[in-house]
Amino acid sequence: MQKHTKIYVAGHKGMVGSAIWRSLTAKGYTNLIGVSSKELDLKIQQAVKDFFAKQKPEVVIDAAAKVGGILANNDFPYQFLMENMLIQNNLIDAALQSGVEKFIFLGSSCIYPKLAPQPLKEEYLLTDSLEPTNEWYAIAKITGVKACQAIRKQFNKDYVSLMPTNLYGTHDNFDLNSSHVLPAMIRKFHEAKENNNGPVTLWGSGTPMREFLFVDDMAAAVVFALENNLPEYLYNVGTGEDLTIKQLAETIQKITGHQGEIVWDSEKPDGTPRKLMDVSKMHDLGWKHKTQLEEGIQKTYNWFLENIGNYKEVKL
């Protein structure tokens, strides 16, 4: 991989895409392409084809997706299925048709069955039924993984899929209607602290176990995949460590300085009981995360505080 190789980062303004962009820039890559959703609607096939014909990227990193937490996935199943399939299929096919030799597709740990053995191994894909609260997003991502695998098999191109665990970090989404659990907790605990340390109500029982990866570590994994030819089509990316949602809440409560009560609303869904990734394949190749959870949450909270007036990013 040359430093002047033309690399298109789809979704470069999002949390993951912007971290990848920062990581590539820090490593000296000088020919990066990024285009906003206003300039290019990735759901429109002809627009994507025209973009590829004009820009002629040599490498594509697909960090573009419609994402959200349990509530958003549950309320908008069609959009999460169809919009994600349109985005990724247009990117993958345009890359293939325009001769792109290397494509990195980013998915999610939710592609694995709800009750798969723990930790989740890559070979568990499609062995059982999915978690109902986010199966629409999961099915879309599975089709992306399979499309890249098919290209790898049929055309012998270096198209690889990376499946991150739960990501968090700077430039995260803090909108309570669409955010994931960790940024939602940061906002809830912060606002409760500002409101005389009032009680914080959280969904479920607090017993499910989750794994979290700081977004800059995910970006480093993408750069690692970029600079190496990975021998298989699918790799998990995570820490290989998890904790209960209750432990997560207590950690965030401590970091934000909230001193009130935590109330668990057991009427709300818990989601999958446990989602821990087996990351041994990436470890064996030489990649490992660097940021510990408390450090990453502190960095994320600091960013949240610095950007609290930026309504577009934080949506307060």
Q: Which residues are annotated as a binding site for substrate?
A: 188, 203, 210, 270
Give the Å distances, CA to CA, from 190 to 219, 248, 249, 252, 312: 27, 15, 12, 9, 18
Pairing of strands 59-62, 262-265: unpaired
Which residue among 137, 159, 168, 301 is the active-site one? 137
137 is catalytic: yes
Name the token pair of 141. Answer: 């991502």
Q: Which of 293, 280, 279, 204 is nearest to 243 (CA)?
A: 293
Peptide linkage before 119 cis (omega within 30 of 0):
yes
- Strand ranges in 40-169 using DSSP code E only, listed in sequence order: 59-62, 102-106, 158-164, 166-168
**Which residue positions form the known binding site for NADP(+)?**
11-17, 106-109, 141, 164-167, 180
**Which residue positions form the known binding site?**
11-17, 106-109, 141, 164-167, 180, 188, 203, 210, 270
Residues 6+ apart with CB under 8 A from 193: 256, 257, 258, 259, 260
Q: Residue 232 CA to chain centroid, in angstroms?
A: 20
H or E stretch covering 300: helix 293-306
Q: Is 297 helix (H, G, I), strand (E, B) or coil?
A: helix
Residues 6+ apart with CB under 8 A from 274: 118, 208, 209, 210, 242
Catalytic residues: 137
